[in-house]
């Protein structure tokens, strides 16, 4: 299953996704998708480095569907995180 690496930015707590250029972005559509073990391990190493440099915290990977090259969350939880709170 393709997956995306996510975390919260340490300073703000905001939801962030790892992008292809190694930056942490706020939009899921800009996240890089790992679709095999090799790319996943590379991304995991980049995320670990960001944890150690105190940029992010609470890092983990979650499964996505890729539709027209854009990752779509599968779980409700990740859909809510990607959309920010649905309550208003």
Partner 1 sequence: MYKYDDFDRTFVADRAQQFRDQVGRRLAGDLTEEQFKPLRLQNGLYLQLHAYMLRVAIPYGVLSSRQLRQLALIARKWDRGFGHFTTRQNIQFNWIKLDDAPDILDALASVDMHAIQTSGNCVRNVTADPYAGVANDEIEDPRIWAEVLRQWSTIHPEFTFLPRKFKIAITGAAEDRAAILFHDIGLKLVSGAKGAIGFRVFVGGGQGRTPYIAQELASFIPRNELLSYLEAIMRVYNMHGRRDNIYKARIKILVNALGIDEFRRQVESHWGELDKASINLPVAELSRITAQFSQGPLPKRENSDDAIKARRLRDRNFDRWFRTNVRPHRVTGYSTVNISFKKPGKIPGDATAEQMEVVAELAERFSFEEIRVTYQQNLALPSVAIADLMSVYDGLVVAQLETANTELITDIIACPGLDFCNLANARSIGIAQEIAQLFADPSIAEEIGPLRLNISGCINACGHHHVGNIGILGVDKKGTEHYQITLGGSPKDDAAIGEIVGPSFPAEQVPSAIRAIVATYLSQRISPSETFVVAYGRIGKDPFRSALYDAPKLSHTIDSALEVTHV
Name the site residues for partner 1 (rule: CB under 8 A).
8, 10-15, 51-54, 57-58, 74-77, 80-81, 84-88
Closest CA to 26 of 39, 10, 7, 42: 7
Looking at beta carbons only, is 39 or 44 nearer to partner 1? Answer: 44
Coil vs helix vs strand at 59: strand
Looking at beta carbons only, is 39 or 57 nearer to partner 1? Answer: 57
Looking at beta carbons only, is 20 or 65 nearer to partner 1? Answer: 65
Q: What is the closest distance, in whole angstroms, from the C-beta atom of residue 16 to partner 1 in the complex? A: 11
Rounded to a whole number of angstroms, the distance between the first and last alpha carbons of the chain is 33
Count the Cβ atoms, other than its own, within 10 Å of residue 40: 16
């Amino acid at each position: 299953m393709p997956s995306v690496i996510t975390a919260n930015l340490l300073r703000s707590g905001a939801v962030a996704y790892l992008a292809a250029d190694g930056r942490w972005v706020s939009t899921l559509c800009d996240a890089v998708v790992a679709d095999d073990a090799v790319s996943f391990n590379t991304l995991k190493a980049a995320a670990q480095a960001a944890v150690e440099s105190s940029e992010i915290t609470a890092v983990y990977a979650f499964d996505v569907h890729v539709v027209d090259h854009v990752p779509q969350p599968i779980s409700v939880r990740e859909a809510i995180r990607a959309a920010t709170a649905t309550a208003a």
